[in-house]
Amino acid sequence: MIIRVDRVVQTAQGQAVAGAQVYVLTQPADVETLTPLANVYSSTGGAAGANPQITDGLGQVGFYLDNSQLYTFVVVSPFLETQSYPDQSPGNSPSGSSPFGGGSVGTPGGIISGAIDGNNTIFTIPVTPTLLYWQVNSALLVPGVGYTTAVVSGVLTITLAIAPQLGDTLYASGLL
């Protein structure tokens, strides 16, 4: 199964590192030559994504991987020493849990309901996850700051702090 992976690259002081290259390698990996490169996807549909991925202004990077194997992540930046993270599992769920992902509002197969009109801040998901990642465009939101949640009759209601504007994309992923 192809699932979403989100990572943040920061300095030891917690400052975001923009423009860092995040390489994804299959194992066994050679971190000196950055080989072998793994297949990275840009969606759950399996569309090819870039490898390396480049962190945004908040040090964030999001991509999709096949969760049937372990990976080594290597972070390269002029602001950090090269960092290597072996044995990374993108989606071994806790027992009884399974990963889910929902496309943007209005897309075929999307699980998010609600209007993106510049005014609406309330959206629903017909599942109750044990872990939720909520994004507007490619920015990961912080629970209690960027959004709040409530469960009513098995439906998760998400109230955003700021209404998404026309053209924005919403995405929810996590564990059930």
Q: Over the stretch 38-81, which tens digit does the pLDDT of each residue have?
A: 999 998 888 999 999 999 998 889 899 988 888 999 999 998 88
Query: What is the model's pLDDT at position 102?
Result: 46
The CA-CA-CA angle for residues 27, 29, 32, to 5°, reads 170
Which pLDDT does position 41 carry in this prediction? 94
Spans in the chain with pLDDT lower than 70: 91-111, 127-133, 138, 173-176
Same fold, 2-88 and 99-175: no
Fold of 2-88: Tailspike Protein; Chain (2.170.14)
- Say if domain 99-175 classifies as CATH 2.60.40: yes
Q: What pLDDT, on the 0 to 100 scale, is given for residue 170?
A: 76
Domains of the chain, residue spans = 2-88, 99-175
Q: Indicate the Cα dihedral angle 169, 131, 152, 139, nearest 10°.
A: -20
- Please state the length of the chain: 176
Q: How many Cα atoms are found within 13 Å in the side-chain-facing hemisphere of 44?
A: 15
Look at residue 74 in the predicted model and tell me its pLDDT: 94
CA distance 148 to 5: 22
pLDDT of the residue at 67: 81
What's the whole-model pTM score? 0.55
Structure tokens at 52: 């390396």
**pLDDT for res 103:** 45
Secondary structure string (H, E, C) spanning 109-148: CCCCECCCCCCCCEEEECCCCCEEEEEECCEECCECCCEE
Supply the pLDDT for residue 79: 87
pLDDT value of residue 48: 94
* Model pLDDT, residue 91: 61
pLDDT score for 56: 92
Q: Tell me, what's the pLDDT at 68?
A: 81
